[in-house]
Amino acid sequence: MEIIHVSAECYPVAKAGGLGDVVGALPKYQNQLGHTAKVVMPMYRTKFLYENQFEVVHKGAFGMSNYWLDYTIIKETTNYLGFDLYLVDIYNLLDREKIYGYDDDTERFTAFQIAIVDWLSKWEHRPDVIHVHDHHAALIPFMMQNCFAYRHLSSIPTVLTIHNAQYQGWISWDKSSLIPEWDKWKWGQLDWDKTINPLACGVRCASKVTTVSPGYLQELQYNANGLEKLFEYERGKCSGILNGIDEDVWDPATDPLIKTEFGIADAATGKQSNKKILCDEFSLDINKPLIVFIGRLVGEKAADLLPQAIMDAISNGEGSVNFLVLGSGDPAVESQLEQMNSHFMGYYNSQIGYNEKLSHQMYAGADFLLMPSRVEPCGLNQMYAMRYGTIPIVRRTGGLKDTVKDFGEDGGYGICFDNATVWDITYSVHRAVELYSQRKRVTEIINTIMQIDFSWENSAGKYIQVYEYIN
């Protein structure tokens, strides 16, 4: 099958979070199953662009509101990512360093989607499926069905994968002319609560919808940032497929980004050596358990609870634990976390920003990884942590509930709690400190979690079944 993935992110080209990891891995595993999966994304001005070779494969133009925009599609020539990578360049819109966060993101991602549909409309053959990811690409199924210039694409099946329904890409109706001329009778497919809602529109128009874990699909029916009714209504076309991890990138035995590589047999010494690097660099105590947080400092991740929870855990436990935080996001949380560096020196440290190398070192060197998320559609961090022998401490939600079982339960191996509150976090930290003192149990758990199969093979095949169903 020929599968075209459309996404705003794809690792290692451009990544802000787990979406990038998934789109950088899933196509590769689909190709290994004998299919032809390709990725199309914006041509941001990231390092990847300057370090690789590309060729121009198409040039075109389209109208958007009162502008006529030229676009160029370039293709990476070596296929070293394990799939064909196409980048869409649009002057003055996509040619930026960052992925998101600009005032004209609506115009940027709408133009990106129009360029793709316009390019597809020029193809001499028909791909088997267009697989769009999140709201940045979710208007594509609508455009293929209802924009007059592109309606001949309407017979191509489409799949929308929802990585996070908190973000829906809302566009006010006074910008509706951004979308190429469309059948006005179909306005109801675009609208949700008097706003153009690309994610809702994608759910309505895609042939099939998937979420990145089965647990999250259940949750969307009562917690979907306003779209609960829609998910209840469209339940029949939705399925939950758990993400995997890319073992070419995330394997402690071969990871070039960590100080000491290790496998299951030498996990104890390997992890200790990696912990030492972190403790030396961040002035932490190697003899105490090290709990880390890695991620976006936003409400969904309950990052706002971290400062108080960490202060309480250090004070109540009389300093029997170390914390290290890596993340960026809400400026107020960033500044609180940074200010704590000097107050809790020796017990706590933080690195504000995005740092891929340090994140790998932290998965490798930590004893525990904390994820108190309020919303977690899948969560990759806990899976990476387990692969690197780091015990997850998670709130039971979405994909976290699907992947982590409390060590108090039969066959359990993680620490789970129910509420995103400071108290639940500090209580779980207390359980972690106690567990840490039982070395034999910790060794058994590390042995278990490093062997859990989170590989992509299985899930990549499940997506193929979805495509086959609609073909």
Structure tokens at 401: 């509930």
Structure tokens at 241: 């497929």
* 12 contacts ligand ADP (rule: CB under 6 A): no
Sign (positive/negative) of CA torsion 378, 21, 88, 100? positive
The span of 18-26, 104-112, 196-204, 454-462 binding ligand ADP (CB under 6 A) equals 18-26
Determine how β-strand 129-133 pairs with β-strand 2-6.
parallel
3 state SS of 173: helix
Q: Which residue in the set 17, 198, 389, 414 belongs to the binding site for ligand ADP (CB under 6 A)?
A: 17
Would you call 41 exposed, middle or buried from its count of C-beta atoms within 10 A (0-12, 13-18, 19+)? buried
Whether 100 contacts 16, CB under 8 Å:
yes
Whether 319 contacts 313, CB under 8 Å:
no
Tell the smallest beta-carbon distance from residue 369 to ligand GLC (Å): 14
* 18 contacts ligand ADP (rule: CB under 6 A): yes
73 DSSP β-pair partners: 58, 88
* 21 contacts ligand ADP (rule: CB under 6 A): yes
Residue linked to tokens 């496998």: 263
Binding pattern for the stretch 367-396 against ligand ADP, x by CB under 6 A and - elsewhere: -----------xxxx---------------
Subset of 183-212 contacting ligand GLC (CB under 6 A)? 212
> CB-hemisphere CA count at 13 Å for 453?
4
Please identify, using beta-carbon distances, which residue of 42 and 289 lies nearer to ligand GLC: 42
* 376 contacts ligand GLC (rule: CB under 6 A): yes
The span of 12-20, 217-225, 309-317, 424-432 binding ligand ADP (CB under 6 A) equals 12-20
Tell the smallest beta-carbon distance from residue 297 to ligand ADP (Å): 8
* 372 contacts ligand GLC (rule: CB under 6 A): no
Indicate which of ligand GLC, ligand ADP, none lies near residue 356 (CB less than 5 to 8 Å, by partner kind): ligand ADP
Indicate which of ligand GLC, ligand ADP, none lies near residue 354 (CB less than 5 to 8 Å, by partner kind): ligand ADP
Residue-wise burial string across 415-442, b where 16 or more C-beta atoms lie within 10 A, e elsewhere = bbbeebbbebbbbbbbbbbebbeeeeeb
Subset of 340-359 contacting ligand ADP (CB under 6 A)? 354-356, 359
Q: How far apart are CA 447 and CA 203, in angstroms?
A: 41
The residue ranges that bind ligand GLC (CB under 6 A) are 17-19, 22, 163-164, 212, 243, 376-380, 399
The residue ranges that bind ligand ADP (CB under 6 A) are 17-19, 21, 294-296, 326-328, 354-356, 359, 378-381
